Amino acid sequence: MQILIVTRHHGLVEFLARYIGSGHEVVAHATADKVKGRDVWGVLPLHLAAECGRFTEVPLDLPQDLRGKELTCEQVERYCSKPVTYEIVRHIHDICSYCGADNGTEDQANRRQGFDCFECGSVRSDVNTLFFS
Ligand SMILES: [Zn+2]
């Protein structure tokens, strides 16, 4: 898996070199397309972390006066805990309005439209306006 580092801090990239070496692609802001299927290190919101093949968070507990500022490697070292790798499974809940069963799927791409509820057999649709317009 190709490594990607997501951070605004050069100090964090320097700090991460001891774990994953240097020369990896670094971006300040991540998008779903950018992180998809990759081995991503840094800080990400959960919905983007779920797109990664693997996501490693470097937990930073910064004092107020350092937030939003450029950090040195020494500052990262001082305020971070050990990196933690997560393998995230996304489950999108989709409750049947007739019986209350959860017809959710593990990925947006697999969402079904106009299918029968697996529990009660009601024909369901994500396009509710079809019924109410
Ligand atoms: Zn149902």
Q: Which pLDDT does position 107 carry in this prediction? A: 65
Token readout for 95 is 């409750």
Sequence-distant (6+) residues with CB within 8 A of 31 are 48
Q: Are residues 26 and 61 in the same domain?
A: yes
Sequence-distant (6+) residues with CB within 8 A of 25 are 2, 3, 4, 5
Q: Are residues 96 and 82 in the same domain?
A: no
Residue-number span of the structural domain to which 122 is assigned = 91-133
Distance 104 CA to ligand 1 centre (A): 12
Q: Which pLDDT does position 113 carry in this prediction? A: 61
Please report where in the chains the tokens 């306006």 appear, as a residue.
129
Question: CB–CB of 82/58 below 8 Å?
Answer: no
pLDDT class of 32 with cuts at 50, 70, 90? very high
Q: Are residues 51 and 73 in the same domain?
A: yes
pLDDT in tens, 75-126: 999 999 999 999 888 888 888 888 999 888 776 545 556 678 888 988 865 5
CA distance 124 to 112: 9
Q: Are residues 100 and 75 in the same domain?
A: no
Overall number of domains in the chain: 2
Q: Which pLDDT does position 4 carry in this prediction? A: 98
User: Which residues have a beta carbon within 5 Å of ligand 1, which is an ion?
Assistant: 96, 98-99, 101, 117, 119-120, 122
Q: Which pLDDT does position 125 carry in this prediction? A: 59
Distance 116 CA to ligand 1 centre (A): 8
Distance 54 CA to ligand 1 centre (A): 34
Distance 123 CA to ligand 1 centre (A): 8
Q: Are residues 98 and 66 in the same domain?
A: no
CA dihedral 123, 124, 129, 133 (to 10 degrees): 20
* % pLDDT > 90, the chain: 56
CA distance 5 to 41: 5
pLDDT tops 90 at residue 19? yes
Q: Are residues 107 and 49 in the same domain?
A: no
